[in-house]
Structures are given as structure tokens and as C-alpha cells.
Amino acid sequence: MSGGRRRTVLLVGLAVPAVATLIADPLMGLVDTAVVGRIGAAELGGLGLAVAVLSTVAWVFNFLVYGTTSSIGRALGAGDAGAARRRVRAAVRAALVLGMSVGVVLWMVAPTLLGALGAVDALIGPGSDYLRVRAIGVPFLMLTYVGHGAFRGASDTRTPLIVAIGSNVLNAVLTVLLVGPFGIIGVAAATVAAEAAAVAAFVVLLPRAGVARRGLLHDRASGADGADGASIGAGSDLAEVRALLRVGRDLFLRTGGLTLGLLAVSAAAARTGVVTAAAHQVLFQVMMLGSFTLDGLAVAGQATVSTALGRGERDEAAALGRTTALLGAAGGALTAGLLLVVSGVVPRLLTDDAVVLEAVASAWWLLALGHLITGVVFALDGVMMGAEDYRYLRDTTVLAALVGGSAAQVVASTGGTLLDLWWCVQALMLVRFVALVWRLRGTGWLDAALAGAQRAADRPSD
């Protein structure tokens, strides 16, 4: 098998289970919504606001997935199982501290927070009940991020899929059993139990990722002098946690910039008019759904590139980066073609307003063709994360968000149309596309990977 074909088979084999996992993860919230919607309107409204808060928490701390993926991939690629265990241990400790801290805060301020977000009195009671119970599970949620990252770093996307399916099934069963006697509190408790079960499954299965379970929470460093050994181990863990938090800073700014840029376009649509805002929402949700399929390739690219760089194979990492980009282009083209084919069907599933449908149709073709760009962008996001080129991702994404968001404000101020606003979305993606392709064609991202490896080597070890 040729090198190019081998890489394609490897990447696709990792991407397909990753796509299924990305789709399976939000299903817990969907099950909760479907069940609570049959309790009452107040419970459903409170649930929606509480889930929005929890989604924000998930967004802020998802660096635990991406940072763990690259660091574990590097360590296992280098054949250093000790470093992999040390990095998982540091991520576990960070997840526990952050999770417990956030959980306590959410428990304490739930009613006040929901009120500050504009909830009417009828929503605050059920919303607070749900949020407080789910707050207990925040540490479990963050630990699952570490589990996903560890297995992705080991180029294993099938095990996380199995865990996701199992936890979703458990959540559905427990939700049905608990909603009757406990109402919305029982629904929340079912989700927390499913999250805890997912953590337990990841711990049991962790050796599959090449990481020993022993010493995940406490490690006795070897050495003649036990006190000195303990000091070295503590210093090593602290250095790893600091490195993970630096990744968190850059990814927070990168993802925050992208989110704010897209939010600026949505705000501009709202300023333009009711029909434009409604049609934009339809297009935006379809674009988000398409991102699930394309993000699976980003997972594969990050895992394989980080592993290749851990082995010191720069040429192989570069080749994997190019193959990932080509597959992203192919995936984007496939998605674009599919969206063009279903242009007369999908919008009608989301709205039956004839005026809104007409507005959607005016920009649907641009949404579809835009995937020719976004397919490559999402794929190369994973490649650059695999190389730990987080700073470049941060800076270029913020720049792109400024371009697209500012253009949208001009469109809204000059009486532009929905199609004009979607040109702004494509401008945002085009800036990212040019920046990422330019980076891939050079060696700067590989140099960033080398610098990251040097910083890792300079950190104390057990």
C-alpha cells in the first residue's frame, strides 16, 4: 500500500468513529429535552436556560480534550509511557480541581445566575433544581474530556464511541425511570449518573490507550530518597498542569474569538429584521450540523500528526497534514453537494414560514458552497493542534473574527440582505482558510511543534 493511501485509510478510519462520537455526545441533552418537554412549559424553559449555562462551561473547558490529545499523542509517539501517564495524571488533577470549583459555584449561584440571565420567576425554580443537580456532575464531565483526549492521543476513536453509546443508553433508561418519581431533578440525576459511568468506563479501559491506571491520582516517584522523589513528582505535575492551562488560554481566546465573530453576524441579522434573523438562524444551525462531520477529520488529523511528531518524523507529519487537508476538501465538497441536493427539503423541516423560506433560499447556495472552504479549515485546525501551534490558531482566528464581524455590522448599517451577511460569514472563513493553508505550506507549524517538544523536555519528570 502506498504512503498516501495508507495515510488516507488511517485518517478515515479514525474520523468515522469520531464523527459518530461527536454526534452521540449532545444526545443526552436531547433526551432530557424530550422528556422534560412532557412535564410542563416552565420545566422545559428552565431546562433550556440551565443547559445553555452548562454548554458555556463545556465550551470554556474543552481545552482539556484538545490539550490532552496532543500531549498524549506526542508522548506515545515517542514511546514514553511514563510521560503519557504523567500528562494524563496532570489533566485528571486539573479536571478535578476545575470541575469541583465550577460545580460548587454553580450550586451556590444557580437561582441568582438564572435570574441575571433574564429568566422569569416561573423558570427559576425548575431551572435551578436542574442546574444544581447537574453541577454535581461537572467534575465527571471534565474527567470525560480527559478520557476522550487520552484515547484520541492514542489514535483510538472507537473506544470513546463505545463509551458515548453506553452512557447515552444508560442516561435514556435512567431518565425514564427517574422522571416519574422525581421530575426534573430525576432527569438531571440520570445525566449525572451517566457521566459518572462514562468516567468509570474510561478508567477501566485506559490501558487500551497505553496508559497505566496506577498512579493517576497519586504517584510515588522512584528513587533512593523518598522525600526528594516526591518533590520531583510534584514539580513535574505542576509543570504539566501549567502547560495544560497555557493551552487552555490560547484555545479559549481562539474559540472565543470565533464564537464572538459568528455572534456578531447573528446580531447584525437581528438588527436587519425579523425575517432575516429567522432565516439566518436556519442557515446557522445547518452549518453547525455540518461541522460535526468535518470535525471528525480534525480529530483524526490532530491524533496522527501529534503521534508522528512524537516519533520525530517531521516529513510524515507534513504528509499527514497535506492528506488531512485534501480529505477536508473532499469532505467539504461532499457536504456542499449534499446541501445543494436537499435545498428544497431541509429548510422546510426547520420552518414553515413562506417568507422565511424565501429568504433562506436566497443564501442557501452560498452556505452550501462555503463548505468547500470550511472543510479544509476544520481539518487544518486539527493538524495545527496536533503540532501544538495554538498561538497561531489563536491570532489568526481572532483576526478572521474581526474581519467577518466588522463586515456584518457594515452590512446591517447599510440595509444589506441575508445574502450579504453570509458573504461576511464566508469572509471570516476565507481569512482562516488562507492563514491555515499558508501555514501548512511552510515549516512554521513544524517549528512550533519542535519548540513545544523542547518545552516538554525541559519540564521535570518523575
Q: Convert the pLDDT of each residue in 325-354 to its tens digit.
A: 999 999 999 999 999 999 989 888 878 888
289 with 425, same domain: the answer is: yes
Q: Convert the pLDDT of each residue in 103-133 to its tens digit.
A: 999 999 999 988 887 777 888 899 999 999 9
Number of structural domains the chain divides into: 2
User: What pLDDT sits at residue 58?
Assistant: 85
Mean pLDDT of 145-152: 94
Mean pLDDT of 55-80: 89
Q: Which of 128, 92, 85 is nearest to 110 (CA)?
A: 128
User: What pLDDT sits at residue 456?
Assistant: 55
User: What pLDDT sits at residue 289?
Assistant: 79
> Is residue 114 a part of any domain in this protein?
yes
Q: Specify the residue for cell string 490507550.
A: 209
> Is residue 239 a part of any domain in this protein?
no
Sorting pLDDT into bands at 50, 70 and 90, what band is 453?
low
Residue with the larger pLDDT of the pair 314 and 220: 314
The three cell numbers locating residue 324: 488531512
Average pLDDT, the chain: 87
212 with 254, same domain: the answer is: no
194 with 54, same domain: the answer is: yes
> Is residue 234 a part of any domain in this protein?
no
> Is residue 232 a part of any domain in this protein?
no
User: What pLDDT sits at residue 234?
Assistant: 56
Cβ atoms 211, 199 nearer than 8 A: no
How far from chain centre, in Å, is Cα 36?
26
Mean pLDDT of 236-256: 82
266 with 200, same domain: the answer is: no
Q: Specify the residue for cell string 498561538.
A: 391
User: What pLDDT sits at residue 8?
Assistant: 93
Q: Convert the pLDDT of each residue in 23-48 to its tens digit.
A: 876 777 777 878 887 888 888 888 88
> Is residue 231 a part of any domain in this protein?
no
Q: Convert the pLDDT of each residue in 298-313 to its tens digit.
A: 999 999 999 999 998 9
Q: Convert the pLDDT of each residue in 200-225 to its tens digit.
A: 999 999 999 888 777 676 655 444 33
Q: Supply the range of the domain harboring residue 310.
A: 249-458
User: What pLDDT sits at residue 290?
Assistant: 81
Cβ atoms 133, 189 nearer than 8 A: yes
> Is residue 66 a part of any domain in this protein?
yes
> Is residue 339 a part of any domain in this protein?
yes
User: What pLDDT sits at residue 382?
Assistant: 94
Cβ-count burial of 110 within 10 angstroms (0-12 exposed, 13-18 middle, 19+ buried)? buried
